[in-house]
Structure 1
Amino acid sequence: MKANTFTRHLREGVKSLARNGWMTFASVSAVTITLLLVGVFLAVIMNMNHFASKVEKDVEIRVHIDPAASKEDQKALKANIEKISQIESIKYSSKEAELKRVIKSFGDTGKSFELFEQDNPLKDVYIVKTKQPRDTANVAAKIEKLNYVSNVQYGKGEVEKLFSTVKVGRNIGIVLIAGLLFTAMFLISNTIKITIYARRTEIEIMKLVGATNWFIRWPFLLEGLFLGFLGSLLPMVLIMSAYSSVQSVLQEKFAGTIFELLPYSPFIFQLTGLLILIGCLIGMWGSVMSIRKFLKV
């Protein structure tokens, strides 16, 4: 496409926005409201995914070694565990280290456990992590069958519930976002369709004098892009300021816990950039879908 032709299309697209002021306002408002909802849902879902990923990474299998196992038996057990393909890492923790961990985890009340230092009832442990957290139950079942394993702990029952809840939450979020985007495309498509209908005679004349479909389509395509871009500006500003406020409050409230939001940068810039892209794409899509009918002359 020549530069002067593109300039002409650009000029026509901008003129159409100004010429159809109320329709432009309606389209931009539809995009603004929809993208604001999409942005909020995306922020919530992405942070839920971040939290779930952190929790999943903390899932581990604690393999309690039979007290009767010798050092050679322990090495043999480790070698057998390492043969399992889903294993990412395996770390040894002595019963002394385990007792210290228990005492530390109970804080002040844990001091009562110091009495067991002379006669430690705990067992040596192999701490196993899988490459994929969802393989935890399967790997634990395999380890449980090995020799010199006293028992295996990984939060049986709770881990499965966690993975199930995370999966359901992600799927619901995807469905909601897809529904909102479809609604935005439908609203923009119908709004632009009204604008195009008012200019149907002009389009028919252009077709009759030999204008190509793309020559006619480009101004409307750029108009849809502008509508999407303008509609994404307010959600972008609101989400940036709201996320900053929410993050500062929650960081102070949940400091030192696993409950933490994604860092403001680069997350918020990635999110707002995605909103602008979505706005532009659904605006262009709405224009393309609206004008198809009027190009059949």
Structure 2
Amino acid sequence: MIRRFFRHFLESLKSLKRNGWMTIAAISSVTITLILVGIFASVILNTAKLATDLENNVRINVYLREGATDQQEMVVNDVGETVQNESYLAIFNQIKDMKDVDNVIYSSKDEQLKHLTDTLGETWNLFAGDANPLYDAYIIETKTPESVKKVADAVAQIDGVSEVRDGEVETERIFKLADLVRTWGLVATVLLLVTAILLISNTIRITIISRSREIQIMRLVGAKNSYIRGPFLLEGAWVGLLGAIAPSALIYFLYQIAYQSVSPSLASQNLSLIPMNIFVPIMVGSLFLVGIVIGAIGSTISMSRFLKI
């Protein structure tokens, strides 16, 4: 068995060299196909990642009533005395105790005004101090995206809450987009791989047709189908392996540029592409694996018509 494998292995290498131009044509076909597969898969995977990030970044903004003292431990009573605030953290604790709530962040109206000033310009400084029209708020992160609506409805019933915003239509659209990308992205990737197998098998078939006499002679001398198929199977795998080199290098180069260019702007929105140290090894390894597999499958499909009795 081992001796036969090495014999087929050497024969496949000789065949690649002997059929020079046909081998180059087959490798070129694999290269072009894998470039398309790699680029398309990169876009789909990162789009799905961004959709998931958007889904997970959906938050609930809870605005407190004007003059709320939920964050004040001490308050001044009607006679001007500083006393313990009986309502200290009353709203916060009710929100925090909800089973679907993961985290609660307090954002004062002054902090919100500063953020608007930093983002939209110095014009917002006109509203500093007593002119600040904003409200103190709690920003809620839920344990699951599906819990957003339920938590928002429950928080709206708490005394002292002025308004609750959970994105409503926008949130629903984000959830639908995430599901759409995952579903159709997977379908499109599978279709592209099937197309790749057909394209490569047709290219390899041309190579095998040019060697049909060689196959007929082997059959006439009594060689079994498995023996005839061996070198061609390995040859197809070699074609897939060699054809994956250029796409892997190209994907690495393009993804590095895209990651460095896009990541800073995405980071400001709590979004990110798949990290380089995770994406590149997986994608490069996948391209080589896919190239070898579809090369071998393409060779097997192409051989089938010549091995029929």
TM over 0.5: yes
Moved more, 153-162 or 219-228: 153-162
TM-score by length of 1: 0.79
* CA deviation profile, 1:171-209 (whole Å, cap 9, x unmatched): 444343323221210122233344445144245346x45
Identical counterparts, % of pairs: 38
Supply the RMSD in Å over aligned alpha carbons: 3.4
User: Is residue 197–residue 294 contact of structure 2 (8 Å, CA) maintained in 1?
Assistant: yes
CA distance in 2, matches of 1:101, 1:95: 10
CA distance in 2, matches of 1:278, 1:11: 23
CA distance in 1, matches of 2:198, 2:133: 67
Q: Which residue of 2 aligns with 1:231?
A: 243
Q: Which residue of 1 aligns with 2:127?
A: 113
TM-score by length of 2: 0.76
- Alpha carbons of structure 1 residues 223 and 145: separation in structure 2 relative to 1, 3 Å: farther
* CA deviation profile, 1:199-233 (whole Å, cap 9, x unmatched): 44245346x45x4x544433222111111111111
Q: Which amino acid aligns with 1:116?
A: D
- Alpha carbons of structure 1 residues 242 and 73: separation in structure 2 relative to 1, 3 Å: same
Q: Which runs of 5+ in 1 are unaligned?
A: none
Q: Which residue of 1 aligns with 2:26?
A: 27
SS at match of 2:128: helix
User: Is residue 229–residue 279 contact of structure 1 (8 Å, CA) maintained in 2?
Assistant: yes
Q: Which runs of 5+ in 2 are unaligned?
A: 71-85
Kindly state the Cα deviation for residue 135 of structure 1 after the two structures are TM-superposed: 3.8
CA distance in 1, matches of 2:177, 2:301: 38
Residue correspondence of structure 1 range 136-175 to structure 2 within 5 A: 136-175=148-187
Q: Which residue of 2 aligns with 1:90?
A: 104
CA distance in 2, matches of 1:78, 1:67: 16
- Alpha carbons of structure 1 residues 156 and 191: separation in structure 2 relative to 1, 3 Å: same
CA distance in 2, matches of 1:86, 1:292: 58
Q: Which amino acid aligns with 2:188?
A: L
Tell me if 1:281 matches 2:307. no
Structure showing greater radius of gyration is 2
Tell me if 1:290 matches 2:293. no
Kindly state the Cα deviation for residue 264 of structure 1 after the two structures are TM-superposed: 4.2
May I ask how many residue pairs the two structures share in their alignment? 290
Residue correspondence of structure 1 range 54-93 to structure 2 within 5 A: 54-66=53-65, 71=70, 75=89, 77-82=91-96, 84-93=98-107
- Alpha carbons of structure 1 residues 94 and 249: separation in structure 2 relative to 1, 3 Å: closer
Q: Which amino acid aligns with 2:19?
A: N
SS at match of 1:228: helix
Kindly state the Cα deviation for residue 28 of structure 1 after the two structures are TM-superposed: 1.4
Kindly state the Cα deviation for residue 164 of structure 1 after the two structures are TM-superposed: 2.9
